[in-house]
Amino acid sequence: MIEKLKLNYGYLFEDELLKEINKVGIIKEVPKGYKLLEIGDYVTSMPLLINGAIKILRQDANGDDLILYFLERGDTCAMTLECCMGQAKSEIRAIAETDAQLIMIPVKKISEWLGKYKSWQNFILKSYHSRVQELLEVIENIAFLQLDERLLKFLRDKAMVNNNDIIQVTHLKIAHDLHTSRVVVSRLLKKLENQGKIKLNRNSIQILHL
């Protein structure tokens, strides 16, 4: 595991910290679609993403999903940080977007290392910062962007985290993630195709220029 750590986080953390992570961290490999965290779960460990991508969803009172953002390599879940401070339950749902490898770190280590390692402090602050930024973006998108722009952003993000300009997804699933109806997605996708931005196929969509 130490090799994987060095490879992905070596440039971020000093050797001492890497050794500590190696000692208490647990490697976890999950397949695509695996539910890492459900709403209401207690958070006991914090994930460091080695590879793959995680989809973070918020759920409303009716049980309808809405995608917030994707996590990628080098990211951690800001929600976990939130929870370790206040022992709170998760407000979000996390699902593996692709097959993924994570290192799970016990929550109590987070604050312990905060005082001990400068690099850890930086890392936590930085990921918190970028997550807040991302959330602001999400709010902006929902409040001000038309659905077709949200859709395009969603497709681009999805293409990015999958490292593939061909996205394997149905219109119905997109509709769920964006919290709209399948018919609307189909029509907007059709529009985007006519604009030459994407290519539609059954069960997959190709992004033409990223």
Partner DNA sequence: ACATTAAGTGATT
Partner DNA sequence: AATCACTTAATGT
User: How many Cβ atoms are within 10 Å of 138's Cβ, its own excluded?
Assistant: 18
If one asks whether residue 130 binds DNA (CB under 7 A), the answer comes out as no
Nearest CA among 207, 3, 24 for reference residue 107: 24
Minimal distance, residue 168 CB to DNA, in Å: 10
Q: Which of 137, 148, 165, 177 binds DNA (CB under 7 A)?
A: 148
Please select the residue that binds DNA; options are 171, 192, 198, 207, rule is CB under 7 A. 171
Q: Between residue 174 and residue 193, which ones bind DNA under the rule CB under 7 A?
A: 179-184, 186-190
Residue closer to DNA, measured from CB, 130 or 201? 201
Provide the token pair at 71: 């996590």
Candidates 33-41, 97-105, 123-131, 168-176: pick the segment binding DNA (CB under 7 A).
168-176
CB of residue 186 vs DNA: minimum separation in angstroms? Answer: 4
* Choices 52-60, 65-73, 88-96, 173-181; region in contact with DNA by CB under 7 A: 173-181
Using rule CB under 7 A, residue 51 touches DNA = no
If phi > 0 it is left, if psi is from -120 to 50 it is alpha, else beta; for residue 138 that is alpha
- CA dist., res. 131 & res. 87, Å (int): 20
Verify binding: residue 170, DNA, rule CB under 7 A.
Answer: yes
Size, binding site for DNA by CB under 7 A: 20
Distance from C-alpha of 161 to C-alpha of 73, rounded to nearest angstrom: 9
- Distance CA(34)–CA(44), nearest Å, equals 18
Alpha helices in 14-88 (DSSP H): 15-24, 78-86
Contact 5, 26 (CB under 8 A): no
Residues that bind DNA (CB under 7 A): 146-148, 170-172, 179-184, 186-190, 200, 202-203
